[in-house]
A = this chain, B = another copy of it.
Amino acid sequence: MSYPSNITSTRAEKTRNRLLKSTESIFANRGFSGLTLREVAQRSQTNLASAHYHFGSKEAMVLEMLKSRVKPINQRRMECLQEAREKTGDKPLTTQQILQALILPIGEEIAKSTHSRETLAQLVARTFTEPARFIEKMHRKFFGDLCEIFMDELRRTHPHSEEEDLYWNLHLAISSMLGALAQHRRLKDFSKGNCKEEDTQEMIERLVVFASHGFEAGISK
């Protein structure tokens, strides 16, 4: 999936979607202050005023792009959780099942061909280095509720663990996921050719194992 580009979309919608697509790629690579409306307009094959017409401002445009990227991933996360619940019935999920629901959807999204392999990973990385106020707000809005849903699931799985331990280790699991995504492009260099950075699927699988065992080691039983 890319930004909606139905057969029925008007010319205006197409322009809008091209703007969002360019915004995604440039923001991922250079951050908010590195993104210029001129470059967005040029890559979108439209004019400088277009971004303002469709979104009102640079900030509003970036925010719109972020929303459209985060939403489907979070939806998929909820679906994965639901699928796991149906599979295990009344029993609590395993830590690994829960963290898979958190991590796998990003892998699926990266694997989709509409984005360069690096773009989404870089985009995710941006959302936690960009200090702009509006990014903070977005973060809270999109991940606040989601975190509580995952926390509830973890509480069910680890009923005797301290709240503090669960929060800390979910935080570490999420941090390691984001860190791994952000660092992924460095892997090939780093490993002197021993690991292939192209293999996103392998990263995701290894990440799930790493995070699940790290998590379980960190909570008091």
Question: Which residues does A use to contact B, with CB under 8 Å?
Answer: 29-34, 122, 125-126, 128-131, 139-140, 143-144, 147, 163-164, 167-169, 171-172, 174-180, 182-183, 186-187, 189-192, 194-195, 202-203, 206-207, 209-218
Contact = CB atoms under 8 A, between A and B. Distances in A.
Given A171-B187, A172-B176, A178-B182, 8 more contacts: A30-B33, A33-B34, A125-B128, A128-B183, A169-B210, A171-B190, A175-B182, A176-B180
A144 B192 CA distance: 9
Contacts of A189: 140, 144
Among A125, A164, A179, A212, residue most surrounded by chain B Cβ atoms (within 10 Å): A179
Contact of A194 (B164, B195, B218): B164
A144 B191 CA distance: 9
The dominant DSSP class at the A interface is: helix
One complex includes copies of this chain to the number of 2
Contacts of A147: 190
Contacts of A169: 206, 210
B171 A183 contact: yes
Among A140, A206, A211, residue most surrounded by chain B Cβ atoms (within 10 Å): A206
21 contacts: A29-B131, A31-B130, A32-B34, A122-B131, A125-B128, A126-B129, A140-B189, A143-B190, A167-B187, A168-B203, A169-B206, A172-B176, A172-B180, A172-B207, A174-B179, A175-B179, A176-B180, A177-B179, A179-B179, A209-B217, A210-B215
A188 to B, nearest CB: 10
B206 A218 contact: yes
